[in-house]
Amino acid sequence: MTEHEFLTVPELADLLRLKERKIYDLAATGEVPCTRATGKLLFPAAGIRAWLDAHSEGAVSKAPRPGVVLGSHDPLLDWAIRESRCGLATYFDGSSDGLARFRRREGVAAGLHLLDPDGREWNVPRVARECSGQNAVLVRFAARERGLVLGRDVTGIAGMADLAGRRVVPRQPESGSDLLFGLLAAKAGLDMARVDLTEVTRTETEAVQAVARGDAEATLGLRSVARDFGFNFVPLIEERFDLVVNRRAWFDTGMQRLMVFCQSEAMAERAERMGGYDLTGLGTVRWNA
């Protein structure tokens, strides 16, 4: 779908979590607005928004959400929001905070990288538990390389176990990075009592900036940010960063302008220059409420 035009049958089916046959039935009965062009059914975004409003969970849900992207900080997403001129604001304070604020209707989307405690799946289990009644959809953004970002003169760190006795920059409690650090530490047998933690930082960039200032020897960060600072990077895991989006807001100009830009050549080139990103499948649906 373009920023202000139409959805195809597969796109609408994906977003509404319906079979394509059901979409054809809705169109045939006139329940959803549609038009036919060159033999194909197309669904106008404005009409679909109105239809969703009429079928929302209750009157309170019809009040528009503020145009804010919540959740975890991602440098590429942050750049895309600004560069696309989509008009959306940001409030990045971790995945868990973003998910809670999203449930309270404080924004239109939230960025997440939450690994289930069993270590098998990113984001879907947590979103399914907490957003089942939110008229929400979870879409892919990117896979990201995460590992240990080391200060320029730091040696002897090849994995999580080597952080014992070292000074490390933590992230805010219950953020995706904080939860992942705990899981990786437990898997490596790292005793957290032996890790010297600095003051908490709240974004990917701030964590590496603390290492650059000499406040610590390492942090659990992204390859892209380590590359920006010219720091050594010890890869540990490829994580999935997704966006949980209010389904009605998905059709609004801000979200559509952002997602169209995310499919652009400029976005692909930026991700390549930053390093550590795989944008395969960006915008595809992973879960529906």
Q: What is the CATH number of domain 63-289?
A: 3.40.190.290
Quick one: what percent of the chain has pLDDT higher than 70? Answer: 94
Residue-level pLDDT at 73: 98
User: Taking each helix axis from N to C terminus, what angle separates 9-16 and 20-29, rounded to the nearest 10 degrees?
Assistant: 110
Per domain, the residue ranges of the chain are 6-54, 63-289
Task: Point out the residues of the chain with pLDDT beneath 70.
Answer: 1-4, 29-30, 53-62
DSSP letters for 135-203: -EEEEEEEEEEEEEEE-TT--S--SGGGGTTSEEE-B-TTSHHHHHHHHHHHHHT--GGGSEE-S-B-S
6-54: in CATH 1.10.10: yes
Longest Cα separation, the chain: 69
| Residue 61 DSSP label | G
Residue-level pLDDT at 60: 45
In angstroms, rounded to a whole number, what is the distance separating the alpha carbons of residues 116 and 114? 6
Residue-level pLDDT at 115: 97
Q: Is the dihedral of CA 202, 204, 206, 208 positive or negative?
A: positive
Nearest 5°: phi and psi at 123?
70, -45
Counting beta carbons within 10 angstroms of the beta carbon of residue 138, is it exposed (0 to 12), middle (13 to 18) or buried (19 or more)? buried
Residue-level pLDDT at 246: 96
Residue-level pLDDT at 32: 80
- Other CB atoms within a 10 A radius of the CB of residue 227 amount to 16
β-strands 109-112, 68-71: how paired?
parallel
- Other CB atoms within a 10 A radius of the CB of residue 38 amount to 5
| Residue 64 DSSP label | P
- Average pLDDT over the chain, rounded to an integer: 92
In angstroms, rounded to a whole number, what is the distance separating the alpha carbons of residues 229 and 282? 27
Q: In Å, what is the CA distance from 279 to each residue of 28, 133, 266, 267, 289? A: 36, 29, 13, 9, 24
In angstroms, rounded to a whole number, what is the distance separating the alpha carbons of residues 132 and 140? 18
Residue-level pLDDT at 55: 61
In angstroms, rounded to a whole number, what is the distance separating the alpha carbons of residues 24 and 270? 39
Say if residues 69 and 81 touch (Cβ distance below 8 Å): yes
77-104 b/e (C-beta count within 10 Å ≥ 16 → b): bbebbeebebebebebbbbbbbbbbbee
Residue-level pLDDT at 93: 97
